[in-house]
Amino acid sequence: MKKLFAVALGILTAIGGFVDIGDLVTNAVVGSRFGLGLAWVVLVGVVGICVYAQMSGRVAAVSGRATFEIIRERLGPRAGLANLAASFLINLLTVTAEIGGVALALQLATSVDPMWWIPVAAFGVWIVIWRARFDLLENVTGLLGLTLIVFAVALFMLSPDWGSLADQALRPGPPADEPVATYWFYAIALFGAAMTPYEVFFFSSGAIEEKWTEKDLAKSRLNVLVGFPLGGLLSIAIAGCAAVVLLPASIDVTSLSQVVLPVAEAGGKVALSFAIVGILAATFGAALETTLSSGYTLAQYFGWSWGKFRRPARAARFHLAMIVCILVAVAILATGVDPILVTEYSVVFSAVALPLTYLPILIIANDREYMGDKVNGRGMNLVGTIYLVIILVAATAAIPLLIVTGAGA
Amino acid sequence: MNDESAQRMPRPDPRAPRGRVLDAHLHLLDRQVLDRDGTPVTTIDDLELDGIELGARIEPGSPAPSVAAILTGPQLLMRIFGGHAPAARRISIPWKLVASVGTTVRLGVGADSLDASWVERWVSRHIIGRIPGGRHDPE
């Protein structure tokens, strides 16, 4: 019974933890412009994140080494530092987007200007990282994030024309009134949102925080293989809601209020409050994960003591680095930059940084010195390599498409 | 390396090393160093070798150099950008403190006894330890 509960808890938190501000905004934007025409990208991204999250968890559990320690070992100090700089800066951009997202969610709930909420959100993120146990922060935000299921419920309550939705999803391709480049730009943004590299840093470091051994691998695989696809369905539901309500009315998504508009239309205030709780939990949870990831990457490259299982004073530089990251994020938001815009850029740059994270994992998962007989099987390597090619194509195309399309304008 | 057992048991090739062969580049550099209790101390940023002069020609048949210390701190910048740090500025962990070498390098002493962890101790004492809750276990 206890085991069953643990498995269920793991799956539920994986579902709730899958969606972050990047998924929320990008799916709503894409839904309002292309309907479900890009839903296939979410599926491709979900399979990819399942493959690599599971692989990095296995590497961490078997070898006891987290991702960035291995990246430095395999790439050496110079290429490792370049990788660290890129991964860290993009992650910092994501921290900024998530903290901004928390502030926007609080604005939705209270109508108080988000500027006032930014310091509150940042302090909240810090105090939880400072004081709360790792499993507690994982489970609470993951479970509360499940209220985002209201998007799926809302989609049914809107009683859409399922035939035309299925038609959009099954016949992918740019619509007549949108340029081809814009279609692919959003495809890459959506891919970056689903496969964000911080998930891998967080997943592998989390495996060490929770002291996984090879025995925990089956459980973790189940969490990933069931939880992430259901989280992906949630993403598609968000896009679906936008496709049904926003697309016909040609409403652009420029803030969270448009993201939740279909939910409010379908279920009124009750549904809306569920959506706000869900968005708050999802962005807050992701703010915790990205902030921790920035500490993890730095500490693992330089070999500092790290981990939430230690007292802050026993992992001093790790905690100091995270405090500085939160302060930098607040400083960026204090300039008045739109968090939605930060989010849109963060998912595109995430796509650019994907190979930096995923290639070293694939290499190390084949290294017998670390993995013993738990190295990748042939099938896993085949899938991993196919994804590496997709990732490389997306990463190379991201910046040119960003410039050509004027960030999808 | 020449202890009694080597003299008692002649090997087919006298130059072949005994035991596990470690490639300094592959197995030591950039590895995580853990202390006696498993707490991370640093990453091996560089190694100090004894019995070899920088830039000098190595005569055939000369004795092999040995690893004297693990270097850290500013040495990382030297490895990335080139250049040399004066010996007095190096932060080193003597190789005799190393207990075992695997996918990590384990020391036989606690991190707090090492010069190499002074930055961590300073940040802990002067910043993190002063914030309320910094010395308590998470709840």
Tokens 């930060």 map to which residue?
A342
Contact B137 A311 (CB under 8 A): yes
Q: How far from A91 is each of A120, A225, A342, B113, CA to CA, in Å?
A: 21, 25, 12, 34
Top residue of A67, A304, A324 to mutate, by most chain B CBs within 10 Å, is A304
Cβ-Cβ contacts under 8 Å, A310 against chain B: 39
Contact B134 A80 (CB under 8 A): no
Tell me the domain boundaries of chain B: 21-130
Contact A69 B43 (CB under 8 A): yes
For residues A250, A252, A257, A261, the Cα torsion angle rounded to the nearest 10 degrees is 20
Q: A175 lies in a domain?
A: no
Q: A179 lies in a domain?
A: no
- Establish if A368 touches chain B: CB-CB under 8 angstroms: no
Contacts 24+ apart (CB under 8 A), A317-320: A317/B119, A317/B120, A317/B123, A319/A129, A319/A130, A319/A295, A319/B128, A319/B134, A320/B123, A320/B127, A320/B128
Q: Which residue among A76, A302, A313 places its CB closest to the CB of B134?
A: A313
Cβ-Cβ contacts under 8 Å, A319 against chain B: 128, 134
Q: A409 lies in a domain?
A: no
Q: A61 lies in a domain?
A: yes
Q: A16 lies in a domain?
A: yes
Q: List, for residues A284-305, the tens digit of each pLDDT value.
A: 999 999 999 999 999 999 999 9
Contact B123 A69 (CB under 8 A): no
- Establish if B45 touches chain A: CB-CB under 8 angstroms: yes
Question: Pairing between strand B46-50 and B66-72?
Answer: antiparallel
CA distance A73 to A71: 6
Mark which residues 81-120 of B lie under 8 Å from A by CB: 103-104, 111, 119-120
- Establish if A318 touches chain B: CB-CB under 8 angstroms: no
A273 C-beta neighbours (distance < 10 Å), count: 18
Q: List, for residues A210-230, the tens digit of each pLDDT value.
A: 888 888 888 888 888 999 999
Cβ-Cβ contacts under 8 Å, A312 against chain B: 128, 131, 133-135
State the pLDDT at residue A360.
87
Contact B124 A73 (CB under 8 A): no
CA distance A304 to B35: 12
Q: What is the ipTM of this complex?
A: 0.84
Contact B128 A78 (CB under 8 A): no
CA distance A56 to B60: 45
Task: Round the average pLDDT of chain A to a whole number and report it.
Answer: 91
Q: Which fold has domain B21-130?
A: SH3 type barrels. (2.30.30)
Cβ-Cβ contacts under 8 Å, A309 against chain B: 138
Nearest CA in chain B to A127: B133
A145 is written with which tokens? 């994030």
Q: A312 lies in a domain?
A: yes
Q: How far from B60 is each of A292, B57, B63, B64, CA to CA, in Å?
A: 52, 9, 9, 10
Question: Pairing between strand B105-107 and B32-34?
Answer: parallel
- The parent domain of residue A110 ranges over 2-169+186-404
Q: A355 lies in a domain?
A: yes
CATH code of A148's domain: 1.20.1740.10
Number of domains in chain A: 1
Q: A60 lies in a domain?
A: yes
- Establish if B134 touches chain A: CB-CB under 8 angstroms: yes
B93 is written with which tokens? 């962990």
Contact B32 A306 (CB under 8 A): no
Q: Which residue among A80, A314, A370 places its CB closest to the CB of B103?
A: A370
Contact B120 A316 (CB under 8 A): yes
Q: What is the pLDDT along chain B (139 residues), one digit of tens a residue?
A: 444 444 455 555 656 666 777 788 888 899 999 999 999 999 999 988 887 776 777 778 777 788 899 998 888 888 888 877 777 778 889 999 999 998 899 999 999 899 888 999 999 999 999 999 888 888 7
Nearest CA in chain A to B117: A304
- Establish if A308 touches chain B: CB-CB under 8 angstroms: yes
State the pLDDT at residue B75.
83
Residue A53 CA, chain-centre distance (Å), reads 12
Q: List, for residues B87-123, the tens digit of each pLDDT value.
A: 777 888 999 999 999 889 999 999 989 988 899 999 9
Q: Of the ranges A236-240, A291-295, A365-369, which one carries the lowest mean pLDDT score?
A: A365-369
- Establish if B41 touches chain A: CB-CB under 8 angstroms: yes
Q: Which residue among B41, B43, B136 places its CB closest to the CB of A72?
A: B43
